[in-house]
């Protein structure tokens, strides 16, 4: 099991997030002793989705204006169709993601999560996978799209869908453990 104690991981999401693509990575990261912060454009709670049906409300730990990207070691971008589509239209959310891209910090994106990464300029030249409907978007942004359960390219791990979460979680933990530094408590 990975040991991510002393690491701060941001999970950027908003209303319409695919619930399991947020809750499962958060659980796995917490089991690895990481400090996990759900960051959203607004405070309170965000609406989770189970495909097309409303799921549970998910507590927001910090808003974008309370969470400078510099404070985090890695980023998780869960999917759902509405979540990344809304985030990529919010300049502060795109700037948050762009920090991780430009600072070469590890990023894990699943399903539609890569839409926000495209907007932040983080996919060109990368070998990636995603929900199949993003294939053309990713290719148009310069990525090399492949239909695989999970792909790791440098400090980026991507995956297709909820069924791939075990593989995604394993590679995310491995990447984050190898590429982040432990902080003193």
The catalytic site residues sit at: 111-112
| Radius of gyration, CA atoms only, the chain | 15
d(CA 168, CA 64): 25
Q: Which of 90, 112, 93, 100 is nearest to 16 (CA)?
A: 112
Burial 58-96 (b: 16+ CB within 10 A, else e): bebbeebeebebeebbbbbbbbbbbbbebbbeeeebbeb
d(CA 152, CA 154): 6
Task: List strand residue ranges (DSSP E) for the chain, in order.
Answer: 8-12, 17-18, 35-40, 45-50, 53-59, 62-63, 74-77, 107-110, 127-128, 144-145, 150-153, 156-159
């Amino acid at each position: 099991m990975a040991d991510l104690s002393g690491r701060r991981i941001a999970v950027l999401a908003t209303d319409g997030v695919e619930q399991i693509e947020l809750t499962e990575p958060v659980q796995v990261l917490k089991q690895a002793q990481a400090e996990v912060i759900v960051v959203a454009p607004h405070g309170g709670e965000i609406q989770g989705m189970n495909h097309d049906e409303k799921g549970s409300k998910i507590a927001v730990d910090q808003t974008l204006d309370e969470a400078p990207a510099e404070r985090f070691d890695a980023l998780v971008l869960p999917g759902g169709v509405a979540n990344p589509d809304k985030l990529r239209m919010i300049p502060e959310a795109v700037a948050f993601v762009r920090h991780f891209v430009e600072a070469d910090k590890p990023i894990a994106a699943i399903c539609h999560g890569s839409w926000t990464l495209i907007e932040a300029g983080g996919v060109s030249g990368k070998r990636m996978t995603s929900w199949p409907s993003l294939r053309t978007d990713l290719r148009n942004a310069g990525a090399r799209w492949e239909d695989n359960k999970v792909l790791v390219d440098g400090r980026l791990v991507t995956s297709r869908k909820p069924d791939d979460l075990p593989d995604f979680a394993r590679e995310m933990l491995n990447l984050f453990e190898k590429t982040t530094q432990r902080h003193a408590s």
